[in-house]
């Protein structure tokens, strides 16, 4: 992975993502062009409900936040884009799994 540019080794021996991962992400977004379809829906939903709205995809046993529109309210939950969280820890994860809350992995 290092030779291919996906990771780089730092001076302290740890690894960090390389530029190739940015290229992959950019290509992914360009190929699917979800933003033009998803963001208007999330914006309308947030305007109508005054709550945050987000679009997640399942990534193995986790969920990945691809798009988010924050609530206009001062007090609100905040999640970051590209946040990866286990399916079992969130209601969104349960929806993506297709099972009710509290029911372990399917």
Confidence (pLDDT) at 41 = 97
- Whether 96 and 56 have beta carbons less than 8 Å apart is answered as yes
pTM of the complete model? 0.65
The CATH code of the domain that includes 79 is 3.30.450.40
- Residue 23: which domain range? 1-32
Residues 64 and 100 in one domain: yes
Domain count, the chain: 2
Tens-digit pLDDT profile for residues 36-83: 899 999 999 999 999 999 998 888 888 888 899 999 888 767 667 777
Q: Is the pLDDT of residue 99 over 70?
A: no
């Amino acid at each position: 992975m290092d030779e291919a540019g996906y990771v780089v080794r730092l001076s302290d021996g740890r690894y960090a993502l390389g530029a190739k991962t940015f290229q992959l992400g950019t290509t992914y977004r360009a190929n699917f062009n979800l933003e033009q379809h998803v963001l208007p829906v999330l914006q309308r939903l947030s305007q109508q409900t005054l709550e945050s709205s987000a679009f997640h995809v399942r990534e193995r046993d986790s969920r990945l936040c691809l798009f988010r529109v924050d609530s206009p309210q001062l007090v609100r939950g905040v999640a970051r884009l590209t946040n990866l969280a286990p399916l079992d820890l969130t209601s969104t994860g349960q929806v993506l799994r297709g099972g009710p809350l509290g029911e372990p992995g399917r």
